[in-house]
Amino acid sequence: MSGMSDVKCSSCTLGSCAIYTLSSNELEDMELNTCQAGYSKGEIITKQGTPLNSVIYLRSGFVKEFMWHESVADQVIQLIKPRSYIGLKGLYTNSSSVFSYQAITNVEVCFIEKEVFGRIVRGNGNFGQEILIALSKESISNHKRFLNLNQKQIFGKVAGLIIYLSEEVYESSLFELHLKRAELAHMIASTRESVTRALKWFHNEGIIQMKKNTVSIEQMERLSEIAKRG
């Protein structure tokens, strides 16, 4: 967790849509109860079970939301893209984090105290609306992954995963894979080896191109066909 020069919320260029709805008073309220931090690739931001009295705003970088599951290997729930809130869904539950969050690139975040956050939601319906929108979008995005898991064949699941990463996370047909094979596998209830084989096959067929860890989708049509039919 590396230090960094603090940016005021009011002058932040990486803020959420939501903060544009805030009055200067509200903004100041938030500023006073927010603290900024940087993490480098690989660092854990919060661990499940740990107290967490903040909503975390991801200014830049990508974060992995996951759980360490008893016997089973870690389960990756989703990847979070920059300019989104982390752990919003925990805002109104208990004070300890349900999930763990890890920086998968270098990352800048802000910790906003839950209490202030809630106060502002209650006081400013427009802010609430924006948060509601954010949460809805996350929810729908997760549903897509969910549906993908109902696909039985791994090739279909891997194809769906690539599409998810491209559309919901990296928002580009060209992106770097920040997760290793085993983690990708854990996102679709499969194994490292099976993911390797699927990616290799897609590559050989010219459906995607992979050099190093950079994926480029070449034939989206075929890819989504595979994601649908298996």
Partner DNA sequence: AACAGAATGTGATATATATCACACCTTATT
Partner DNA sequence: AATAAGGTGTGATATATATCACATTCTGTT
* Chain contacts with DNA (rule: CB under 7 A): 152-155, 180-182, 189-194, 196-197, 199-200, 212-213
Q: How far is the CB of 87 from DNA (least distance, A)?
A: 25
Q: How far is the CB of 121 from a copy of itself (least distance, A)?
A: 5
Say which entry of DNA, a copy of itself, none residue 123 contacts (CB below 5 to 8 A, set by partner kind): a copy of itself
Binding flags for a copy of itself, 50-79, as an x/- string (CB under 8 A): -----------------x-xxxx--x-x--
Q: In which residue are the tokens 């995607």 written?
A: 208
Q: Does 135 bind a copy of itself (CB under 8 A)?
A: yes
94/212 with CB nearer DNA: 212
Residue 158 and residue 224: Cα distance in Å, rounded? 11
Angle at which helices 114-123 and 24-32 cross, to 10°: 170
Residue 161 and residue 59: Cα distance in Å, rounded? 25
Choosing from 7, 12, 88, 182, the residue that interacts with a copy of itself (CB under 8 A) is: 88
121/184 with CB nearer DNA: 184
12/132 with CB nearer a copy of itself: 132
Q: Name which of 230, 72, 227, 119 is nearest 165 in CA terms.
A: 227
Q: How far is the CB of 165 from DNA (least distance, A)?
A: 14
SS3 content of the chain, % helix, strand, coil (to 5): 45, 25, 30
The type of residue at 203 is H
CB 11 within 8 A of CB 47: no
Q: Does 22 bind a copy of itself (CB under 8 A)?
A: no
Residue 103 and residue 101: Cα distance in Å, rounded? 7
CB 227 within 8 A of CB 148: yes
Sites of contact with a copy of itself (CB under 8 A): 67, 69-72, 75, 77, 88-93, 98, 118, 121-129, 131-133, 135-140, 142-143, 145-147, 149-152, 186, 189, 228-230
